[in-house]
Structures are given as C-alpha cells and as structure tokens.
Structure 1
Amino acid sequence: MKKLFSLLLAVLLLLTITGCGSGSEPSSNGATSTSEKETVTLWTGGSENVKNTWIKLAEEFNTNSEYKDKYIFKVEHISSGTGATSLLDRLIAQYKANEENDIYDIVEVSSTEYVTYMQEAGKDIFMILDKSKIPNYSHMTAKMSQGEDQLVPYRGTTVVLAYDSEAIPNPPKTAEELYQWIRENPGKFAYNTPGSGGAGQSFMVTSVYNLMPEEAMTSSDEKWKEEWDKGFDLMKELHPYLYKSGGKVVYPHKNQGALDLLINKQIVMTPAWVDMIISQINQGTMPDTIKMTQLKPGFTGELANLAIPASSKKADAAHAVLDFVLSDAAQTILLDGMGAFPVVDMSGIDSKNAEMLSSFKIEDFRAAEIGSLRSELVQKWDEEIATLE
C-alpha cells in the first residue's frame, strides 16, 4: 500500500510540474504567454487625469492586435506636488553617474524640459529615433523647433483667451486689442500669478516677448534679459485695470483660480489652458457660454513628447509604443480623456471634443523654449508686479 501511495504521489507531482512549466510554451489556441512578451515601461508625471489617461492608453496597447503578442506596456507615474524627485532630475542624475538603466524605457519630456536636458546633460542622454519603426510619424502635423530626431510629440495644449460670450460677443483678435480692451473694461480681466500656473505665465511671457525679436522666443541666451523691460512696463501699466477685490488688484492663485472667477462672472475674460476648458465644460462645472479664441500673436502652449533614454535596453518595444501613441485610436483616447490637442491629422479622430478644437490648428501653436530664463522671468514678475499697490 505504501509503495502504491508513493507511486501515485510521484505521478501527481510530475503532472503538477508539467502544468506549471507550460506557461513558457504557446497555448493551444496560438496565443503567446506573458513570459515571452517584453515589458516596456513609460515614466510620466503630472495630474491624476494624465495618469488615468495613460492607463487607458496602456490597456488599448495591450489589447491591440499589432502589439499584444509581443509586448506588455506599463506606466509609472510620479504625481505632481508630492515632493518626490522629478523625473527630469532622476534621469539626469542617473546619466551623470553613468549608472546602468534597467528602469527608464520611455520618458515623457515637455518642450521646455528638453531644453533643460540639453543644457544639463547634452544630446547623448536620449536615443536618436529610427523613424522607420514609427510609421505613424508620417501622419504627424505638429511642428517642432528642436529635438525632432529624439522626440515624438503625443499631445499638444495651448493657452487661449477664455471669455463669456454673453458679455463679449466679439472678443479681441490681437494682443494689442486685448490690452486696449483691458484698459476700457477695468476689473473684468485677470490672469493668475505666473509662478502658480502656466496660463498666467503665458500671459507674462507673451507680454514680454511680443515686444522682442521672434528668435528670442526659442533661445535661452542671457542677452535677451536686456530687452525684458518693455514688457514689464506694459504689465505695470495694465495692473490698475485688472480684477479687484476689497479695492485692491488681486492676481488669482493657480490656473483654476482665474477660471473660477470667470465661471462665477466676477470677470469675463482670462487666459486659460484649452484642455482645462474642454474638461470642465464636459463635466458641467463650466457654463457652455464660455468660449475660446486665440490671439495674434498667440499665447504660448507646448507639446508633450516621448523620448527613449540612450541607455534603454528595449529600443524596439519603445519604438512600438511611440508608433502607437500617434495612431488614431490613441489620439482619440487623449482627446476624450484630457481634452488634449491631437498631433496628427484630425480627419480620422472620432471624439465629442473635436468640434471645440475645430478653429485651432496645432501647426500654429507657439512655444516659448527659453530654458532657465523662464524661472528668472517669474522671479522678476514677483519682485516688480506682485508688489504693486
């Protein structure tokens, strides 16, 4: 009896081992096992909305017939405002230490951050892309002023002029018309403090750089600081005509602070991010009487891009993800989930948000790629504008 029991136990153990080992073999229906697929990880940051949209993109990639049998796409997200070391600082530190890279397969890089990467680490920090592995790149309509051989834009956003169409049926069309409107309608316009959000920062940057040579907008050369005073004089002159509370001019805190004033009809016009307006109209927190327009010359925006660190060990898988984000399916998810401006021809994109963007063209987006001069501008604003009575 003992021998029979031992024999049965041995057979059962053999069957168990055989069953566990089958995970490395293709299944009977031809599917590829998880262990045979290459996992590729994207590192990104920003709001929860960015995180949630990337999770949806990963789910779409991992079920897409073109990729699902070869790769598994994962997302690592560094939440903004948590005090965690930024992705930019982590990657530059790793590069300078010449550490082996087993973590960063793909990273998100804004146009502004790319300038910092080039200043701090140089071009060798990122891989030169093989465009033959990114066939959807041929559909891209976004224009890049730098990094074209290392970056793939996946979404765009820009600051626009948000206004209450009931109060303003014919909004300003140019920057000069806006400045004159502010003078003629005291208390009805506001922009948030530049250090607290990009919308107010865009108003500051364009107020300064509209009065400078066009080339300055894409240069981090210190020489341009000598020409800032004209723009600051303009902002000082406009200061007394801005929104007031308790008899004093108030600059709202953060992008949402200015939008809240607009929603509550305390003002009728403000610079705002286009994706924030779209999201809040869809959520029902902003009345549909709020409309958007772009000035000439326009407020600034930026492209969010993906790059492959030069030390990445998963170049083919990373190129596959870069190709995927330029597909109509991925661009639709981005427009639906974030109000993100598509970087490809919109004719193949089916989204409820497309109509709200129909009057804008991403090729007309204006970027301020001025590197560390941006933080110096903010500091100068804090010292010279925020202190005005």
Structure 2
Amino acid sequence: MKKFLKKVTCAALTLGTLAGLISPTAFAQDKQTITLWTGGSDNIRLVYEELEKAFDSSEYGKKYDLEIQFVLSGSGAQSVRDRIVAAAAAGEKETDFDIVEMGADEFVSYTADNSAEDMFLPLDFSKIPNSENVEAQVAEGSEYLIPFRGTTVVLAYDEERVDKVPTTSEELYQWIKDHPGRFAYNTPGSGGAGSSFVTTAIYNNLDEEALVSDDPANMEKWDQGFDLLKDLHGSLYQSGGKTVYPNKNQGTIDLLIDQQVDMIPAWADQIISQINQGILPETTKITQIDPAFTGGLVTFAIPTIGRQAENPEGAYAFFDFMLSEQAQQILLDNMAAIPLIDSSNMDSANAELLKDLDVTNFRRTSLGELGGQLTERWDKEIGTLN
C-alpha cells in the first residue's frame, strides 16, 4: 500500500510539474497569423500599431493574430508593390503577402503586366458583413478591392489672411493671379497634393470619364491645361525672384506655417493632423472647390501568392474589423481619415472638421501610365520655367 501511494504521489507531482511548465494557452488552438503589408510615413505606422492592438484584443483576435510589415516611405527600401510584383513574376507561392494595402488608383499599376485574377483573389463580400455599410466604391477592381478609408486633396488656407475663399476652380485661378506670390503647390512628382492640383487643372477641360482612363488619346487634349499652368506660373510663390515649387506635400504646408503663402492644395488628413498637433494654427481651414480636387480610397486586397489566397477567412475577419465602428473611429481620431461608414455616432473633433467632405462625391483618378507621362511633361514644360 505504501509503495502504491508513493507511485501515485510521484505521478501527481510529475503532472503538476509539467502543468507548471506548460502555458495554459498551449492547450488552446493555435491562432493563425495574418500578415499585412503596407507603407507610408511614420505617423501611419503609429496608427497601424494602434489598429494591430485593437484587432488582437477584439473578438477577431481570439482566432487570428495580426502582424504588420511596414515599409517606411523615403527609406530607400523596395516598395510593397515592387516586392509583390517581383515575387509574382518569379513564380513564388505561399509567401507572407497575405494582405496588401494600396490606394485604389494603384490597382492599375499592379495589373499592368498581369491579369487582375492572376494578381489578386476575387473577394466574397458575403463573408465581410460590414462591407454592406461602406458608402463608397472604387472605380476599378471592385471584385478584388475592399475600401476602408478615404482621403482627398482640399484647399487649405489661413482664414485670418484670406478674405474671400474661392469656391470654384475658376475663382481659385483668378485668386492666384490677384494675389501674386501667396499660393504654392508642390512638384507633382514629389507628392499627391501637387499632382492633384496639376491633374485637375488639365482634366477639368476633358470629359469626367477621362479621369479613370489610361487611353493615350487623352494626351492630345492636355494642351489647354498646360497653357493654364504656364499662365499661373508667374503668380505663384517666389524666392530670389523666381517661382519655386516646393518639394513634397509637406513643403507647401511649411510655407503656410511660416506665413509665406496664404493658400495651398493639401491632403485633408495631413492638414487636420497638423492642426491637432499644434503645428498649424487653428485659423487654418479647409474647403473643397468645384470641380473638386482629386481624392482617393485606400483599399485592401489579397495577393494570389499569399497564404490567405487558399483560405481567406482570416483576411475576411480583418477586413470586417477594419470596417467596424471601432476601427473607423481609430482611423478618424489618429489620422483624420474620412470614414467610409456612417460616422454620425462617432464622437471626434476631426468629424467636425471633415463634415463638409462627402466621400460619395470623391473625384477619383486612375490614369495608369498616363499619370507618369503627365508628370514628365510637367517637369519639362513647367518645372523648367523662369
């Protein structure tokens, strides 16, 4: 009997020791890792860190673990797009490119040399219940892309120095001429705000459908817009007696901060974020003119070379989370992203600043290779003036 009790006691001690060494989570089902590839400035990276925490602690996080692969812009690293396109061209399969973030206008560049179905998985929107609440649509790739936030270029100005704010493009161009040196836009190749100003100046003379067309025939209709840009050149911000086009979106914002100009085209989220940070004064306001500057939708897609292509349930869970009120609130609060769902229940100072920007009326572009050729022509004909 004593020997029996000793064996039982030893067995119990052994099991107890093992139980102490093995974490309780080891007995639970392993969570599936979903890797999201994205990039941009450091402020966007910080927002994604917030979203990652929120996802992992949500109901979705009980089954899936989100991992962010972030490529910082300006770091010299190969872009997310180039990595995915190169991997696809090399015939790689089952990579960790589970989900990719892209601007809706980037879709054309991903599919320039491959069919959309070869590059991305067609989505089953019935498995993304919150997609029914989205109030915006992409111009191209609707089978493959799920939009989750919006942004647009607006007219930013200091209300203390601008008496009458332009409401139309024609009024804006006249304002620039009437206030020489008080307006600036960045080089179109260095940032989307300047690119939007140039694109709308040219495409306001074309049919609206041209903004989502890569038809080379449209290039023959650019002359009137380029004549306008040449006409405005001498009335723009100057330094040392010469017109200066700032580098990057921030370049024009810096001029507005230093009161060297009174009005600029800028991304709405970038302006609002810098107002909140105290970088821009509270007298900075934004407005949208008619016809509007171009904006865009930021989307997610599932590359066919990623692990989620075979079983996309984890990706669908992440998409559904990103279209939840919780995630949309995080985007609104932390980066002034324009919500794509009803924001009436969202309590945010940014919501008040964005209230006049209607995402359903976003003026989107998808020019394909024409966008690069437009920038090249600007570099040759406008950037060399003086």
Pairwise TM-score range, normalised by the shorter structure: over 0.9
- Classify the secondary structure of the residue corresponding to 1:150: coil
Question: Which residues of 2 match residues 120-269 of structure 1 at below 5 A?
Answer: 120-124=113-117, 125-269=119-263
Distance in 2, matches of 1:385 and 1:51, equals 34
Give 2:364's aligned amino acid. Answer: A
Name the residue aligned to 1:278.
272
Following TM superposition, by how much is the alpha carbon of 1:13 offset from its aligned partner in structure 2, in angstroms?
5.9
Q: Does 1:367 align with 2:358?
A: no
Deviation, 1:268, is: 0.9
Separation in structure 2 between the aligned mates of residue 20 and residue 309 of structure 1, nearest angstrom: 40
Contact 1:92 / 1:121 at 8 angstroms: preserved in 2? no
Check the 8 A contact 1:95/1:121 in 2, yes or no: no
Deviation per CA, 1:147-200, whole angstroms, max 9, x where unpaired? 111111111111100111112233111111111111111111111111111111
**Counterpart among 336, 355, 363 of residue 352 in structure 2:** 355
User: Structure 1 vs Structure 2: percent identity of aligned residues?
Assistant: 49
- State the partner residue of 1:4: none
SS of 2:152's equivalent in the other structure is strand
Tell me the TM-score normalised to structure 1 length: 0.92
Q: Distance in 2 between matches of 1:198 and 1:57?
A: 25
Q: Determine helix, strand or coil for the equivalent of 1:374.
A: helix
Partner of 2:5: none
Q: Is the Cα contact below 8 Å between 1:106 and 1:307 reproduced in 2? A: yes
**Which structure 1 residue ranges, 5 or more long, are not aligned?**
1-6, 27-32
1:111 and 1:102 map into 2 onto residues whose CA distance is: 23
The letter for the 2-side match of 1:132 is: S
Partner of residue 334 from structure 1, selected from 303, 318, 331? 331
Q: Aligned residues, how many? A: 377
Q: Which residue of 1 aligns with 2:318?
A: 321
Where 1:158 maps in the other structure, the secondary structure is strand
Alignment of 1:302-313 (within 5 A): 302-313=296-307
Q: 2:213 & 2:372 partners in 1: Cα distance?
A: 14
> Does 2:41 match 1:44?
no
SS of 1:159's partner is: strand
**For the residues of structure 2 that align with 1:298 and 1:118, how far apart are their CA atoms?**
28
Specify the alignment match of 2:379 in structure 1.
Answer: 382
1:89 has 2:85 as partner: no
Q: Identify the residue that residue 60 of structure 1 maps to in structure 2.
A: 54
**Unaligned 5+ runs, structure 2:** 1-7
Per the alignment, in what secondary structure is the counterpart of residue 258 of structure 1? helix
C-alpha contact (below 8 Å) 2:92/2:305 kept by paired residues: no
- Hey, what's the Cα distance between the residues in 2 that align with 1:197 and 1:24? 47
Q: Does structure 1 conserve the Cα–Cα contact (< 8 Å) formed by 2:137 and 2:147? A: no
Q: Which moved more, 1:101-110 or 1:230-239?
A: 101-110
1:341 counterpart letter in structure 2: I
Q: Would you say the 8 A contact 2:212–2:367 is kept in 1?
A: yes
Contact 1:92 1:120 in 2 (8 A): no
Q: Which amino acid aligns with 1:177?
A: E
Distance 1:55 1:237 in 2: 46
The separation in 1 between residues aligned to 2:359 and 2:163, in whole angstroms, is 25
In the alignment, is the contact (CA less than 8 A) between 2:96 and 2:307 conserved in 1?
no
- 1: distance between equivalents of 2:382 and 2:355? 36
User: How far 1:55 sits from its partner (Å)?
Assistant: 1.2
What is the TM-score when the length of structure 2 is the normalising length? 0.93
In the TM superposition, what is the alpha-carbon distance from 1:310 to its structure 2 partner? 2.4
**Could you tell me how far apart the structure 2 residues matched to 1:25 and 1:238 are?**
67
